[in-house]
Chains A and B, each alone.
Chain A
Amino acid sequence: MRAPARVPVRARRTLATAVTAMGAAALLLTGCAQDPAEKSESGAPAGDKGKTTLTVGVFGAFGLQEAGLYDEYMAQNPGIRIEQTSIERNENYYPQLLTHLGTGSGLADIQAVEVNNIAEITATQADKLVDLGKAPGVDKAAYLPWKWAQGTASAAKGGATVGLGTDIGPQGICYRKDLFEAAGLPSDRAAVGALWAGDWNKYLEAGKAYKAKAGEGKAFVDSASGVMAAVTGSSAQRFYDEQGKVVYKTNPAVRGAFDLAASFATEGLSAKLQQFTPAWDQGFANGSFATVSCPAWMLGYIQDKAGPAGKDKWDVAQAPKPSNWGGSFLVVPKAGKHAQEAAKLAAWLTAPAQQAKLFEKRGSFPSASAAYKLPTVSGAQHAYFGGAPIGEIFAKAAEGVPVTVVGPKDLVISQNLADIGMLQVDQKGRSPQEGWEAAVKAIDNALDQ
């Protein structure tokens, strides 16, 4: 150590260590910066000074930006700049929204809310949100009445309409024409729809027929929980009754949907996938299942995941019964800096004309019934799905959807039914009864304050 000859060596080594340490630190920083769960996109070139910047917080691929609506609004209103932040999954987005509402900070000027959360928002957060029912440019008559009611707080809570409906999720059944043909089933969408028209049990029968011809290793549906979501979406009463009491345990509609969906698993008709996982995405790309119950908003997703190779193989038919799955609202927090401007933007984004554009570009079906008469909706066809008349198919479904009772913990209940109960049946081979009991236990624990 003390030998002078070694000093330069040590100095060099220190330098090398310092450089490598810096390299490691740089890696660390970039590693942290690359959190894929959250991304921020700017709807306009940066550096516009003197403009009012409105931020929009959404979850998933919401589509407002992708459909070019921000650009259009900014072109019409030169003083406004719109920025969007997006969080991939609502399960991560929603708690953050609640904490931000609680502290009154970190909020975007406009925030999206999923339909499963809207009852909780109107019941507990209405006082922190702008009454959009009174915002300029909002026309109550343009909306489906049940959608408008869902975004409105009860009279006891002030009766303000805090959420403006964007899209709803009327469902069809998306199916693979080539696989249907190979199994000797009809592939024309009218004939396919007729296979199971009016009864979810016929869908199960069609699945059995498909399996008998298609042979082992070919699944009829992607997942049992997808079927469950579709079937529960066709009943007016699900997890809560009109008085706001939790009734899912005794409601025959819920248990019936659970058991029917479970038989897809027990009959070996399911590809045993979990929706919105990488494996599910790969399933689309690899054609490992023949049908999936698809709300209007899922068409774009299927197109993305199945890719160009799936073009002209996919088609969409009428679902057995009109059913709704999902849909969203826009709310404007009072704590935002530009609440007035934001309310104006929210009203514009959810106006029938814009909802029609969102449908045209992204397949999100309008909640403004006034939009159904617009030619962009009524005459809409989806090129990827063999030119299917999706405007017609989904409008028919939307008009038949019952007015659903929504409750504050809808999301928790439906999630546990799917991800605990149905998943145990589907992926672990548990009996439907065991799966149901496990789900009930988890829900009881989740609802217990």
Chain B
Amino acid sequence: MTDETAVLSPSAAGSKEPAAEGGARGQIWRSRRYRWDLRWSPYAFVAPFFLFFAVFGLFPLLYTGWAALHQVELTDPDSMTWVGLKNFTRLWDDEFFWNALRNTVTIGLLSTVPQLAIALGLAHLLNYKMRGSAFFRVAVLTPYATSVAAATLVFVLLFGRDYGMVNWALSAVGLGAVDWQNGTFASQLAVSTIVIWRWTGYNALIYLAAMQAVPGELYESAALDGASRWQQFLHVTVPSLRPTILFTCVVSTIGATQLFGEPLLFNGGAGATGGSEHQFQTLGLYLYEQGWVNLHLGRASAIAWAMFLILLVIAGAARLLRGRGASR
């Protein structure tokens, strides 16, 4: 810090504005300004983000909360009727809501668990010294870079009942064709596959970054102790990655809770119903159906807030978990 003052002061003094008389006062003014600069500039620098967040994040959040307490239709958003917590209490009896919540949890588990496991393995492989590692690292990220819409439309064709490639392959090896869109488990598995395909590479790169920060000495000493590659992975890599793993778990959970594009487009014909028995209607999809198909803005807002509260609970649980992990 002293270095910086030394660098700054000549340029400030170079202006030579105050004469000899003002030298002492100028000095005080400058140092005061410098302190202010040091103290407030960072806030000015981060302010744009928070300004934008307030406009595009906080305001919609609060307005949604306000709308959730009203009966309001998308056809006429200006006329609101106060209904208190009715939109929330009715969710208790709303079997479609519970169905959507159940689907969100199962699809979330079906996609997140294999996704993170594969990502960890993939990162471990990418961590080896090999030719063209940069190429493979980028290649692993490409699914993430494709648009949800494009990816899902391709998967819909792959999982087609009559002419899909997956069923063709299943029949070729003697297993029967599966009606991927209509089966409850089958459709959820198919949707999860899209999610896994898109996000595994992304998580693998995060793990890879964390792996490269693991000190090499740990592996060397483990190797000296006679640990195999697998044992090294299990007893050195994974424990060192624990904070990263927790981070990806939280991020994936948030992503899974908000799952929307894949199930929406997977049901090419009907949009937001999530299949004829709502078998893959997620919370995001149900929210969309209430708000943008049935045009009930108030009910949709209540679902949005319910999702928000669920995420807060999960975040709280994760914090507890991490706290316990740290105390150990």
Interface residues of B in 128-159 (CB under 8 A from A): 134-135, 137-138, 141-142, 144-147, 149-150, 153, 156-157
B220 within 8 A of A: no
Query: Which residues of chain B are within 8 angstroms of A178 by Cβ–Cβ distance?
Result: none
Interface residues of A in 108-147 (CB under 8 A from B): 120, 124-125
- Nearest residue (CB) in B for A285 is B163
* Distance to closest chain A CB from B129 (angstroms): 12
Interface residues of A in 411-440 (CB under 8 A from B): 412, 415-416, 419-420, 423-424, 427-428, 438
Interface residues of A in 128-176 (CB under 8 A from B): none
- Give the distance in Å from the alpha carbon of A415 to the alpha carbon of B190 in the complex: 24
- CB-CB contacts of B283-307 with A at 8 A, as 1s and 0s? 0000001001111101100000000
Q: In the bound complex, do residue A419 and residue B273 qualify as a contact, i.e. CB atoms below 8 Å apart?
A: yes
- Give the distance in Å from the alpha carbon of A280 to the alpha carbon of B294 in the complex: 26
B37 within 8 A of A: no
Query: Which residues of chain A are within 8 angstroms of B276 by Cβ–Cβ distance?
Result: 419-420, 423-424, 427-428, 438
Interface residues of B in 97-116 (CB under 8 A from A): none
Q: In the bound complex, do residue A274 and residue B163 qualify as a contact, i.e. CB atoms below 8 Å apart?
A: no
Q: In the bound complex, do residue B150 and residue A279 qualify as a contact, i.e. CB atoms below 8 Å apart?
A: no
Q: In the bound complex, do residue A102 and residue B156 qualify as a contact, i.e. CB atoms below 8 Å apart?
A: no
Q: In the bound complex, do residue A91 and residue B76 qualify as a contact, i.e. CB atoms below 8 Å apart?
A: no
Q: In the bound complex, do residue B149 and residue A35 qualify as a contact, i.e. CB atoms below 8 Å apart?
A: yes
Q: Which one of B74, B94, B156, B182 has the greatest number of beta carbons of chain A within 10 Å?
A: B182
Q: In the bound complex, do residue A20 and residue B134 qualify as a contact, i.e. CB atoms below 8 Å apart?
A: yes
Query: Which residues of chain B are within 8 angstroms of A419 by Cβ–Cβ distance?
Result: 269-270, 273, 276
- Give the distance in Å from the alpha carbon of A449 to the alpha carbon of B70 in the complex: 10
B96 within 8 A of A: yes
Q: In the bound complex, do residue B147 and residue A32 qualify as a contact, i.e. CB atoms below 8 Å apart?
A: yes
Query: Which residues of chain B are within 8 angstroms of A24 by Cβ–Cβ distance?
Result: 138, 141-142, 145
A60 within 8 A of B: no
B71 within 8 A of A: yes
Query: Which residues of chain B are within 8 angstroms of A424 by Cβ–Cβ distance?
Result: 276-277
Q: In the bound complex, do residue B162 and residue A91 qualify as a contact, i.e. CB atoms below 8 Å apart?
A: no
B77 within 8 A of A: yes
Query: Which residues of chain B are within 8 angstroms of A98 by Cβ–Cβ distance?
Result: 74-75, 295
- Give the distance in Å from the alpha carbon of A286 to the alpha carbon of B164 in the complex: 13
Query: Which residues of chain B are within 8 angstroms of A448 by Cβ–Cβ distance?
Result: 296
B65 within 8 A of A: no
- Give the distance in Å from the alpha carbon of A116 to the alpha carbon of B161 in the complex: 30
- CB-CB contacts of A248-290 with B at 8 A, as 1s and 0s? 0000000000000000000000000011111110110010100
- Give the distance in Å from the alpha carbon of A32 to the alpha carbon of B148 in the complex: 8
Partner of B138, one of A13, A23, A279, A288: A23
Q: In the bound complex, do residue B277 and residue A20 qualify as a contact, i.e. CB atoms below 8 Å apart?
A: no
A99 within 8 A of B: yes
Q: Is the interface of A mostly helix, strand, loop or mixed?
A: helix
Q: In the bound complex, do residue B293 and residue A449 qualify as a contact, i.e. CB atoms below 8 Å apart?
A: no
Q: In the bound complex, do residue A279 and residue B270 qualify as a contact, i.e. CB atoms below 8 Å apart?
A: no
Query: Which residues of chain B are within 8 angstroms of A288 by Cβ–Cβ distance?
Result: 162
Known: A91-B271, A276-B268, A427-B182. A27 touches B142 (CB 8 A): yes
Known: A27-B145, A427-B179. A446 touches B293 (CB 8 A): yes
Known: A277-B268, A278-B157, A282-B162. A20 touches B293 (CB 8 A): no
- Nearest residue (CB) in A for B74 is A98
Interface residues on A, range: 35 or more
Query: Which residues of chain B are within 8 angstroms of A47 by Cβ–Cβ distance?
Result: none
- Give the distance in Å from the alpha carbon of A428 to the alpha carbon of B294 in the complex: 25
- Give the distance in Å from the alpha carbon of A98 to the alpha carbon of B74 in the complex: 7
B160 within 8 A of A: yes
Known: A282-B160, A428-B182. A420 touches B142 (CB 8 A): no
Partner of B74, one of A27, A31, A102, A283: A102
Q: In the bound complex, do residue B294 and residue A16 qualify as a contact, i.e. CB atoms below 8 Å apart?
A: no
Q: In the bound complex, do residue B138 and residue A91 qualify as a contact, i.e. CB atoms below 8 Å apart?
A: no
A34 within 8 A of B: yes
A28 within 8 A of B: yes
- Give the distance in Å from the alpha carbon of A23 to the alpha carbon of B157 in the complex: 28
- Nearest residue (CB) in A for B83 is A449
Query: Which residues of chain A are within 8 angstroms of B293 by Cβ–Cβ distance?
Result: 91, 95, 412, 415, 446
* Distance to closest chain A CB from B6 (angstroms): 28
Query: Which residues of chain A are within 8 angstroms of B138 by Cβ–Cβ distance?
Result: 20, 23-24
- Nearest residue (CB) in B for A27 is B145
Interface residues of A in 28-67 (CB under 8 A from B): 28, 31-32, 34-37
Query: Which residues of chain A are within 8 angstroms of B161 by Cβ–Cβ distance?
Result: 279
Query: Which residues of chain B are within 8 angstroms of A37 by Cβ–Cβ distance?
Result: 149
Query: Which residues of chain A are within 8 angstroms of B277 by Cβ–Cβ distance?
Result: 420, 424, 428, 438
* Distance to closest chain B CB from A20 (angstroms): 4
A76 within 8 A of B: no
- Give the distance in Å from the alpha carbon of A34 to the alpha carbon of B77 in the complex: 32
Known: A277-B268, A446-B293. A286 touches B149 (CB 8 A): no
A77 within 8 A of B: no
- Give the distance in Å from the alpha carbon of A279 to the alpha carbon of B157 in the complex: 8
B73 within 8 A of A: yes
- Nearest residue (CB) in A for B162 is A279
- Nearest residue (CB) in B for A415 is B270
Partner of B94, one of A276, A445, A447: A445
Q: In the bound complex, do residue A125 and residue B75 qualify as a contact, i.e. CB atoms below 8 Å apart?
A: yes
Q: In the bound complex, do residue A449 and residue B74 qualify as a contact, i.e. CB atoms below 8 Å apart?
A: no
Q: In the bound complex, do residue B74 and residue A99 qualify as a contact, i.e. CB atoms below 8 Å apart?
A: yes
- Nearest residue (CB) in B for A435 is B276
A89 within 8 A of B: yes
Q: In the bound complex, do residue A420 and residue B273 qualify as a contact, i.e. CB atoms below 8 Å apart?
A: yes
Known: A20-B137, A95-B292. A31 touches B163 (CB 8 A): no
- Give the distance in Å from the alpha carbon of A53 to the alpha carbon of B289 in the complex: 35
* Distance to closest chain B CB from A114 (angstroms): 14
Q: In the bound complex, do residue B150 and residue A17 qualify as a contact, i.e. CB atoms below 8 Å apart?
A: no
- Nearest residue (CB) in A for B271 is A91
- Nearest residue (CB) in A for B141 is A24
Partner of A36, one of B149, B181, B270: B149
Query: Which residues of chain B are within 8 angstroms of A428 by Cβ–Cβ distance?
Result: 182, 276-277
Interface residues of B in 161-197 (CB under 8 A from A): 161-163, 179, 181-182
* Distance to closest chain A CB from B41 (angstroms): 29
Q: In the bound complex, do residue B156 and residue A278 qualify as a contact, i.e. CB atoms below 8 Å apart?
A: yes
Query: Which residues of chain B are within 8 angstroms of A286 by Cβ–Cβ distance?
Result: 162-163
- Give the distance in Å from the alpha carbon of A421 to the alpha carbon of B270 in the complex: 12
Query: Which residues of chain A are within 8 angstroms of B298 by Cβ–Cβ distance?
Result: 449
- Give the distance in Å from the alpha carbon of A369 to the alpha carbon of B149 in the complex: 41
Known: A427-B182, A438-B277. A276 touches B269 (CB 8 A): yes
Question: Told that A31-B150, A120-B75, A428-B276 touch, could you supply 19 new A-B pairs with CB distance under 8 A?
Answer: A24-B142, A27-B146, A31-B145, A31-B147, A32-B147, A34-B147, A95-B292, A98-B295, A274-B269, A277-B268, A282-B160, A283-B162, A412-B294, A419-B269, A420-B273, A420-B277, A427-B182, A438-B276, A446-B293
Query: Could you list 12 A-B pairs, sorted by A, with CB under 8 Å?
Result: A24-B138, A35-B149, A36-B150, A95-B74, A274-B269, A275-B269, A277-B268, A277-B269, A283-B162, A415-B270, A427-B181, A446-B293
